[in-house]
A and B are shown apart, each in its own frame.
Chain A
Amino acid sequence: MTSEADSRPAVEAVGLGKRYRGDRWALRDCSFTVPAGRICGVVGANGAGKSTLLTLAARLIKPTAGELRVLGEPSGTPELRTRVAYVTQEKPLYPSFTVADTLRLGRELNPRWDEDVAQKVVNLGELDHRAKIGSLSGGQRTRVALAVALGKRADLLLLDEPMADLDPLARHELMGALMAEAADRGTTILISSHILPELDGVIDHLLLMQSGRIRLAGDLEEILDGHQLLTGAAGAAQLPDELAVEKRVRGRQVTALIRTGEAVAGPWEATRPSLEELLLAYLRTPIADRPGTTTRTAGSAEPDREAAA
């Protein structure tokens, strides 16, 4: 990649919306930026719009509203075909093809194909190249699908729930392969997941989605730095409610996640939240449940930190 391409964001959305047939907005008013070279976690509950967002970025569907730029190009540009790889949630492969056939499909249809990367991913799973895809387990199929995606040597890799049916060992190993790919080639990876632990230590950028909207977007460290987990005795002091993402009372103890990096006055014990604590707090509190905030301000209250940086 050239330095010019490096400076351009990998994915850039402005007011992006997608409505499927039947008036249901799967995605609405999404604005965010994912800088190039990041491993970005796309997190949200089922139906939050994660898959729709990835499918839009993979240009398999067209946005209903707003603008989406991928690798600096409008998302409709045919030239992006070679530069974006996509593994859908279902990891579709031809069941009558062998593993070797499937790798050959990747080789024949992609001019930038890297046979070594693809072979490595398949061989680490000790797969028989002559085995039919239809005879493989779900996890083995996932491995082959990821091998085809990685072999494409794309600049942007879109992975929708890639690890769901892998055993912990394979998950760890494939995550390692993904991170190595990102580190070696500067590939940007968007990875959606609702298995929160699998993202910890992997992602360095976050898109938190809720009900088709972006709830939180930005550099992971900055987001974590911008939040505090407060613990204290119930009734001891007033919480800054307007900053609280979530407040939980357990007996006489109150735990709250608040959205500020500044020290808070009061008898609170403040810690930096872990990724999981942060995500769970947000996921447990749908936007509509938060008193005194509307969906719009929730979406825009958290400015894109990367863009500001």
Chain B
Amino acid sequence: MSTSLLSGRAAQGSADGPAGPTRPARRPTGLLWLALRQSRSAIRVTAALLVLATVVLLTIHFVVQDRAGVMEQRGCLDSSFWGERQCWPLIQRIELAARAFTDLVQPAVFALPVVLGMFLGGPLLAQEYERGTIRLVLAQSVAPRRWLAARLAVAGLVVLPAVGVLSLLTTWVWWTDVIHGPAGFDPPFQTSTYPALGLAPFAWSLFGLALGVLVGELVRRTVTAVLVSGVLMVIASVVMRLVRPYLWPVVDAVVPYDESMGGFMQPTNAWLVERGIVLPDGTRAPDGYCVASYECDEAVGAWGHYHPVSHFVPIQLVETGILVVLAVIALAVVFRRIARASG
């Protein structure tokens, strides 16, 4: 492994000098050893957080499943019995678990890419510049690009699979215990739900890491890099939230106007992007047009643009594609600059 990372120089070096002391086989060597050593605390924190998150998610899952089983035994599953004395505590427990998921787990998974960008990506190079240790590395016999590649590969290969596992668990608990649970209501397109499900945590974490590394390379101060990465990640999240409805064509629907419904209603769990009414002359008026207008009395229909649940995966795929491209661009800039710094 070391020879591949040290390229031909290792062979060349051993020709005109004694090789280093013999090492036990199959232990990381060369740049891989250094990258692992430099990522040691990141590896430990990642492992600890992953264990913690797994425990929390499994607890939520088993609490919900256990209570749901009891509810079924006591005939409480139908919501018309929820007011009964023997059902009420059971449903409360399930609601508590579901709330723990929506109010604690989801925001944490949502914030994870920002945290990774700030505290793993940002300092990765900024700290090297601030402490001057990049010069220690550059003074050794390895090409700076190779060092950076090893460093990024190890950081990425430690964190991203962990994020993947976390995302898988989160999505599974959301699917089995929240949206299909007895007391769950958590539409997937909600601002804090969507980024915690499926590919989103993974794609955003990759992007956050790359962005943080780029910021660190540019500002070269640890604290500044941490703050700037955080601000940029929040801005990126907000911008993506605004762009997201247009990543996939919306479904355009017109229904007969129903005064009691107060306009267009999207299907369950769908994402309503825009809605309004259709006037007698066939033109579409936006939502809110009617507040002070008698014209609504003559409305002939209600229109709506929405994303049904089936658009969830395509939208996530498009978003992931965008984020991966941006991450690749950011890393390409970093590699160019590192190489330019010292041939």
- B-contacting residues of A (Cβ < 8 Å)? 58-62, 76-78, 81-82, 85-88, 90, 92-97, 101, 104-115, 145, 148-149, 152-153
Contact = CB atoms under 8 A, between A and B. Distances in A.
Contact of B16 (A77, A97, A107, A112): A112
Contact of B34 (A58, A105, A114): A105
Contacts of B135: 60, 86, 88, 92
Interface stretch (B2-10, B201-209, B228-236, B319-327): B2-10
Nearest to B30: A108
Given A82-B141, A110-B141, A111-B14, A59 B37 contact: no
A110 B33 CA distance: 13
A153 B17 contact: yes
B141 A101 contact: no
Nearest to B28: A108
B176 interface: no
Given A60-B342, A82-B13, A108-B31, A101 B140 contact: no
B136 interface: yes
B17 A114 contact: yes
Given A97-B37, A111-B12, A115-B21, A85 B31 contact: no
Contacts of A112: 13, 16-17, 141
A60 B138 contact: yes
A105 B143 contact: no
Most B CB within 10 A of own CB, among A90, A109, A114, A145: A109
A93 B31 contact: no
Nearest to B140: A109
B35 to A, nearest CB: 10
B132 interface: yes
22 contacts: A59-B342, A60-B138, A78-B343, A81-B140, A81-B143, A82-B9, A82-B12, A86-B139, A88-B135, A90-B132, A92-B132, A93-B133, A94-B38, A105-B136, A107-B20, A107-B21, A109-B6, A109-B140, A109-B142, A110-B141, A111-B14, A152-B140
Contact of A61 (B9, B21, B131, B342): B342
A111 B131 contact: no
Interface of B: 2, 6, 9-14, 16-18, 20-21, 29-31, 33-34, 37-38, 40-41, 131-143, 341-343
Given A60-B135, A88-B135, A90-B132, A104 B141 contact: no
A180 to B, nearest CB: 18
Contacts of A145: 136
Given A112-B17, A114-B17, A81 B132 contact: no
Contacts of A109: 6, 30-31, 34, 137, 140-142
A97 B20 CA distance: 20
Contacts of A82: 9, 12-13, 141
Most buried by A among B10, B40, B138, B140: B140
Nearest to B13: A111
A59 B33 CA distance: 25
A82 B134 CA distance: 17
A78 B20 CA distance: 22
A104 B33 contact: yes
B139 A58 contact: yes
A111 B140 contact: no
A92 B21 CA distance: 26
B17 to A, nearest CB: 4
B131 A95 contact: yes
Given A108-B30, A109-B31, A113-B20, A92 B13 contact: no
B146 to A, nearest CB: 10
Please give me the 6 A-B residue pairs with the lowest Cβ-Cβ distance, nearest first.
Answer: A111-B13, A92-B132, A109-B140, A82-B141, A86-B139, A112-B17
A152 B17 CA distance: 11
Contact of A76 (B6, B18, B134, B343): B343
A111 B9 contact: yes
A111 B10 contact: yes
A94 B6 contact: no
Contacts of A105: 34, 37, 136, 140
A88 B137 CA distance: 12
B34 A92 contact: no
Nearest to B21: A115
User: Which of B12, B34, B136, B142 has the largest count of A CB atoms less than 10 A from its CB?
Assistant: B136
B215 to A, nearest CB: 20
A286 B33 CA distance: 50
Given A59-B343, A108-B34, A85 B13 contact: no
A92 B142 contact: no
A108 B343 contact: no
Nearest to A76: B343
A94 B133 contact: yes
Contacts of A76: 343
A93 B136 contact: yes
B6 A111 contact: yes
Contacts of A62: 343
A124 B194 CA distance: 61
Contacts of A113: 17, 20
Given A96-B41, A109-B6, A109-B142, 4 more contacts: A88-B135, A111-B11, A111-B141, A112-B13
A85 B37 contact: no
B153 to A, nearest CB: 16
B24 to A, nearest CB: 13
Nearest to A97: B37
Given A92-B136, A104-B33, A111-B12, A81 B20 contact: no
B20 A115 contact: yes
B60 to A, nearest CB: 36
Contacts of B136: 92-94, 105, 145, 148
A108 B5 CA distance: 10
Nearest to A85: B139
A108 B9 contact: no
